[in-house]
Chain A
Amino acid sequence: MPGLPGGGVMALLSADHISVRFAGAEALQDVTMRLDPGEIVTIVGPNGSGKSTLIRALLGIVPVSEGRVQRMAGLRIGYVPQRLMLDRSLPITVRRFLSLPVRVSDAAATAALARVGLPGLEGAQMVGLSGGQMQRVLLARALLANPQVLVLDEPTQGLDQPGEASFYRLIEEVRKETGAAVLMVSHDLHVVMAASDRVICLNGHVCCQGTPHVVSSAPEYRALFGLGTQGALALYQHVHDHDHGDAPGHGHAQDHDHGHKHGQKHGPAHV
């Protein structure tokens, strides 16, 4: 695998030339990627580029039509979904939710809630949580599985800028403490990219992948996200250095959907 790191190590998760079809249309074509122990890998791409589909294929939720997905035997996955749609008809406290599907001790639940910055929230009803609290509870539940890999699918949707920045800081801290690999999906480049060891730029297929700096200067990436992305990366570093995540010059990320027609000529090896 030229261009992919960790060739000799056993990957936690890997996709080998996978394609996924929904109702005849191809959501993903010929995607190859891997996640090694301890890495933070971010998948970026415009809406509809198959980011969530790739995550779901790696987790075995959607079947692949071609290629092969491999998960290390006995891999413990901590999954944080995009959002949890809770029906009001289902009463459930935070404490009870943390025990799904594996029952955990009160001490473990208390520690997990404290770790994500929500001490003493055990008795709260899940439906009454704010967006930020909900994401942190989902992360606490994922951590209780003692995961080797955390999988986060746009975990900060609906959070404001400071909330988003502090959520990503929490993810980095957790990675340092537990050594878990992190695979996350994002479309907000400016917050995520610099924190990643590797970025995979996706638009139905892998446009390019590599370190954040390599990807953000790759022509394929610029064709997809426009030329303002260097600024976006700088903005993240700004957010990261200080604690208040103001977001000036946010507009450049908006023309995500303009044509991206360079087809399959380049693959993962391009970087």
Chain B
Amino acid sequence: MFDDFLVRAVLAGVGLSLATGPLGSFVVWRRMAYFGDATSHAAILGVALALATDLPVVIGTMVVALAMAVTVATLAAKGWAMDTTLGVLAHAALAFGLVAVSFVPGVRTDLSAWLFGDILAVSQMDLALVWGGALVVVCLLVWRWQGLLTATLNEDLAHASGLNPDRERLILTIALAIVVAVAIKVVGALLIAAMLIVPAAAARGLSRNPEGMAVMATLIGAASAVGGLGLSLWQDTPAGPSIIVVASLIFAASTAFGRRMKH
């Protein structure tokens, strides 16, 4: 059944949602949206480096995404003005990546596959990477869940309970780099952050507890992947952006529904 490109595409989208649901919830809770942008845009630079050095793309993107995430986290800890710093880093990473890719022969033409993803061309190897990466991220988050949540609510509370908020932040940083590396094939560097934020934001109005929101975000992400692929087949639209379009529509519907529930 893995022979069918459509089955592989659906499985890749669902697998990615397993990781982006809970991780995206943390991105929303901790107001790391721009952080996700900077990290995922840096992945384009990783693609260029990997292609230039004949390394696997997943390694290149993960290394550069991790470097970017650690840089941003370090600057934040030193008290830099994060709005401006992240704005500069996110766009600089993208621009450097695009310029670097133009030096690699033969890549220029299919650049859009890295920017917007190419989920319909996911190979069995890609699928294994997506599921492997997603499972690593889910295991990391489940293992550290109580500590991550405490540190997210209040770092001093975490400290007083003997936890180390810096370590919890590092876990999220590593998880983000892994997600970026495996998601670039599915939704592309430009829309990875959307895959993290939009389903989680849509889940917010429908949840009473953090775990409920993480599970709901996963379900919404998976539904968006399936719906987006359907839209793509039916209307011949680009698959990655179609997934985000469906997720955004679910967000709009859940926001309207949530408001009505309150009145």
Contacts and interface: CB of A to CB of B under 8 A. Distances in A.
A177 interface: no
Contact of B152 (A56, A79, A90, A125): A90
B146 A101 contact: yes
Contacts of B204: 89, 91
A102 B146 contact: yes
A91 B213 contact: yes
Which has the most chain A C-beta neighbours within 10 Å: B157, B160, B201, B209? B160
A100 B29 contact: no
Contacts of A224: none
B161 interface: yes
Contacts of B153: 84, 86, 90, 92, 97, 100
Contacts of B29: 87, 89-90
Contact of A92 (B146, B156, B158, B209): B209
B210 A91 contact: yes
A85 B153 CA distance: 8
Contact of A151 (B28, B147, B160): B160
A266 interface: no
Nearest to B26: A90
Interface in A206-254: none
Contacts of B28: 89
Contacts of A60: 159
A77 B122 CA distance: 52
Contacts of B155: 61
Contacts of B31: 87, 89
A97 B211 CA distance: 12
B98 to A, nearest CB: 32
Interface in B145-194: 146-147, 149-150, 152-161, 163
A166 interface: no
A81 B207 CA distance: 26
B146 A100 contact: yes
B208 interface: yes
A192 B31 CA distance: 37
B212 interface: yes
A121 interface: no
Interface string A92-127: 110011011111000000000000000000000100
A96 B146 CA distance: 11
A145 interface: yes
Contact of B160 (A79, A87, A97): A79
B213 A79 contact: no
Interface of B: 28-29, 31, 146-147, 149-150, 152-161, 163, 201, 204, 207-210, 212-213
Given A79-B156, A101-B146, 16 more contacts: A56-B156, A59-B156, A60-B159, A61-B159, A77-B160, A79-B157, A81-B156, A85-B154, A87-B31, A89-B29, A91-B208, A92-B209, A93-B209, A100-B150, A100-B157, A102-B161
